[in-house]
Structure 1
Amino acid sequence: MLRRLIAGSMLLMPAAIYADSIEISGGGHLSGEIKSQGDFVVVEVDDEIQVALPRSRVRRMVDSGELAKYQELAAKTGDDAELNYKLAIWCVTGNNVPGRAQYYKRFHLQRAVELDPDHPQARAALGFKKHEGKWIRSVDLMHDRGMISVGGRWELPEAVALNETAEASEIETKTWKRDVSRLVGIVTKGSSKAGEAMDTLRAINDPMAAGAIADQLLRSRNNRSQSSGLRRVWIDLLGRFKNRTSVQALVRAGIEEPDATLREAALKHLQEYGASSAAATYLPMLKANDHDTVNRAARALSWFPDPEMAMEYVNALVTTQTTTGPAGAGMNVGFGDNGANGMSSGSQPIVNKSTSNNTAVLALLKEIEPDADFGYDERAWQAYFAAKKTAFSGDLRRDR
């Protein structure tokens, strides 16, 4: 009897009924009588052939009954590409094939393509696309286009780099929040290490700490949990970082901070870095339906006076604030402190209007035009700036 000993990984189609099968690591299976010989597993496929595999290559042993239906169908596929494709799909449907069904699927897809190189479904299932008349692996096509695969998605390297940077930044920001909170706790408790902790806080120079510092400034704004001295540290650190997060926090402080000293410190830092962001934020606030907001915005804008915005300032000199009161029975007439009135009829809500001369806006106008003073006369200011804009001091005649 001729017996051949074959070592390797292959998938043999059954021609008879076999007693047992083994699944091979990396794909495929062998069916036959299984024998164990030390570090090897020997599968007697028939009287002529034995296959020896190292135990490390054997993923698991399978009872032949589990693969009976598969073996029956596999024997019928022959050299038919379509039948091999259909069997590949059958292998991964439900529990038709136990264990690593994907390996069986891939074998029959590759067999289908071998028999019919232009089988579209098999090509697609193997990750190929037709490009300029040729089948090319999708992964190669995407690589040629400069894309990289991340988590099953194809993305541009630049986008991946940005995402990785963002993730790293988020982790670092969380770390800074934890560390800063710990140091603040030491300072506010007044322990023996408070001075050392304060020095550590003042020495922070990593811009990635901006989020943690901005958070401390915001959370301590309307309570007395932190001293003015500690809160001044937050302002100065944000002024040191000079990044988007710090500018946003300082812009908010410049308008919302109740402590005038800290508010002015924030605006002073913004003069050095962030002036355009500050001005762009404060200018629309001149149109607010609230006299206090208008004046706070004008005071903040006085740190960034811009003659080009003169007409915007003029339009905010005198503003009208509208408020709505609760509905009342019958006719109701209300008079404000400045003589303005509101009226409602029946159950309609009462609408109150009050007009205010905004002193901070007038001061802002005088800052850009120290030689002019038209008080709260908006028309006079408008005429003044219109005349100034159209004035021409040169001589239009040209020497001949």
Structure 2
Amino acid sequence: MDQSAGKIQIRSLVGPVTVSAESIVRVEKRESPWAEYETQRAQSSDTADGNFDLAAWCDRRGLFAERKRHLQRTVELDADHEGARAALGFEKTDAGWILRKPNGGDGQKSGPRPTAAEGADDDERLAAAARVQWRRQIKGIKSIMLESPIAERVDEGQRKILSISDPLAIEPMSEVLVHGDGACRLLLVDALSKFPQDDATANLSLLFLLDREPAVVDRCARELARRKDPRVASQFRAALYVNNHDGVVARAARGLAVVEDKAAVGDLIQVLTVQRDKWVETPVVGLVGGMCRTFNRQTVASADGRRVSVPPVIAFGRGVLANVANVPQFRNVTVYRTEVLEALKALTGQNFGFDVEAWARWYQEQR
């Protein structure tokens, strides 16, 4: 921890963190990860296996720079150490150990060029390794900074997230931040908005369809409208037909209005209303004590010259001893989708309410 000009710089697993001295409530002194590392290093032997074991210890504690240094030392001591070579991204070929670069080019040694399939497999392996590293780093930023009660630390965490420019960070960033609070998810939208890649567009579309925070949904909507990617509209049209999920259908309808997809009008008309079997609460009036159920023998009498048999009717206490209970009943009901109607009005300038036939006639006349 270094202090100067009222600022304190703290060494953390995700890099140096600078905060004002005033924002620190208390200082608790304990052994840092790097002090533990120095102790562990002093107990390790400077052999290939000793450095490799120490690299694994560093990996478990998030000391990635130290991990890499000991893996490199392992290779210095044993050039054919398979575990260290693999961890550093090398691959053994007939020509020797080759370090594959992310762009598919050969590294330290020249050798036979890989086939297209081998090159694709290698790309996937390198991308997966990079995503693992990003996932660890972003988890650290989230837990140490974004979830901190100190505003300055939160601000620094946000800056670190927004400074990420590697497209391979999109998936781990989305996976980690989507489980945060509303502020975390708003930050995720802002970070994804900087990437033009399909990974970012897909995650923004899913956030728009599924997130529960209105501010997150609104920000996604603005970014998706700005992108003008016709594939977004096609996915929203597909989402209209998600069975038994009216929330997704409503959000998809709103999305189609946001991206101004007039080609979706026919689909929206089809899902404007839907018949569904549902349990509904139905009010049932009964008399306290269940008298109607207890005194239930038929009354036989003569009415207008005919013999009739009717159930008993209890009049005394009606309105006084009566009670209303909600009884669940399984019924076929019509679901009226307001968000779909709003989307239709926005896209067409028309308003036929929930009259599906009127909408269909108008739509047919326009074709």
TM normalised by structure 1 equals 0.47
Q: Is the 8 Å Cα contact of residues 317 and 376 (structure 1) preserved in structure 2?
A: yes
Are the structure 2 counterparts of residues 262 and 231 from structure 1 closer, same or farther at C-alpha, using a change threshold of 3 Å? same
From the superposition, tell whether residues 231 and 309 of structure 1 become closer, same or farther in structure 2 (CA, over 3 Å).
Answer: closer
Q: Judge conservation of contact 2:261–2:347 (CA < 8 Å) in 1.
A: yes
Match of 2:259 among 300, 304, 313: 304
3-state SS of 1:302 partner: helix
SS in 1 for 2:339: helix
Q: Which amino acid aligns with 1:366?
A: K
1:353 is aligned to 2:353: no
Larger Rg: 1
**Alpha-carbon distance in structure 2 between the residues aligned to 1:155 and 1:352:** 67
1:218 matches 2:196: no
Out of 180, 203, 208, the residue aligned to residue 249 of structure 1 is 203
Q: Does residue 189 of the first structure (1) align with residue 148 of the second (2)?
A: yes
| Whole-Å separation in 1 of the counterparts to 2:269 and 2:341 | 8
Structure 1 CA distance for aligned equivalents of residues 214 and 124 of structure 2? 35
Shift of 1:297: 2.2
Q: Equivalents in 2 of 1:155, 1:211: separation in Å?
A: 30
Q: 1:161 to 1:272 in 2, by over 3 A?
A: farther
CA distance in 1, matches of 2:199, 2:226: 16
Return the match for 1:236 from 190, 200, 206.
190
Question: How far apart in 2 are the matches of 1:194 and 1:384?
Answer: 53
Distance 1:352 1:179, change over 3 A: same
Aligned partners of 1:303 and 1:351: how far apart in 2? 36
Q: Which structure 1 residue ranges, 5 or more long, are not aligned?
A: 1-153, 221-225, 326-333, 338-349, 390-400
> How many Å apart are 1:256 and its aligned residue?
0.9
CA separation in 2, counterparts of 1:175 and 1:335? Answer: 52
2:121 matches 1:163: yes
Which amino acid is the alignment partner of residue 207 of structure 2?
Answer: A
Structure 1 Cα separation of the partners of residues 203 and 221 of structure 2: 11
Number of the residue aligned with 2:325: none
Partner of 1:385: 363
Q: Could you tell me whether the CA contact under 8 Å between 1:289 and 1:322 is conserved in 2?
A: no
Q: Select which of 267, 277, 302 maps to 2:231.
A: 277
**Amino acid in the other structure paired with 1:376:** F
Return closer, same or farther for 1:353/1:296 CA change in 2, 3 Å cut-off.
farther
Distance of aligned partners of 1:240 and 1:336 in 2 relative to their CA distance in 1, 3 Å threshold:
farther
Task: Output the aligned Cα RMSD.
Answer: 2.6
Q: What percentage of residue pairs aligned between the two structures are identical?
A: 18
Aligned length: 208
Asked whether the 8 Å contact 1:247–1:274 carries over to 2, the reply is no
d(CA) in 2 for partners of 1:274 and 1:204?
24
From 217, 221, 229, the equivalent of 1:263 is: 217
Which of 117, 135, 160 is 1:177 aligned to? 135
Q: 1:117 matched to which residue of 2?
A: none
Deviation at 1:201, TM superposition (A): 1.7
3-state SS in 2 of match to 1:240: coil
Deviation readout 1:87-129 (Å, 9 max, x if unpaired): xxxxxxxxxxxxxxxxxxxxxxxxxxxxxxxxxxxxxxxxxxx
Residue 190 of structure 1, CA deviation: 3.7
Residue 123 of structure 2 aligns with an amino acid whose one-letter code is T
Q: 1:367 offset after TM fit, Å?
A: 1.2
Give the secondary-structure state (helix, strand or coil) at the position aligned to 1:305.
Answer: coil
Q: Are 2:182 and 1:203 equivalent residues in the alignment?
A: no
CA–CA separation in structure 2 for the residues paired with 1:321 and 1:336: 16
SS state at 1:353 partner:
strand
Structure 1 residues 303 and 217: CA distance shift in structure 2, 3 A: farther
SS of structure 1 residue aligned to 2:258 = coil
Q: Is 1:317 aligned to residue 275 of structure 2?
A: no
Larger RCO, structure (CA 8 Å, separation 6 or more): 2
After superposition, the Cα gap between the structure-2 partners of 1:156 and 1:172, relative to the gap in structure 1 and judged at 3 Å, is closer
**TM-score scaled by length of structure 2:** 0.51
Shift of 1:294: 2.5
- Is the partner of 1:219 in helix, strand or coil? coil
Q: Give the counterpart letter for 1:159 in structure 2.
A: A
Question: Aligned partners of 1:166, 1:358: CA distance in 2, in Å?
Answer: 43
Query: Letter of the aligned partner of 2:236 in structure 1?
Result: Y
Shift in CA distance, 270/189, structure 1 to aligned 2, threshold 3 Å: same
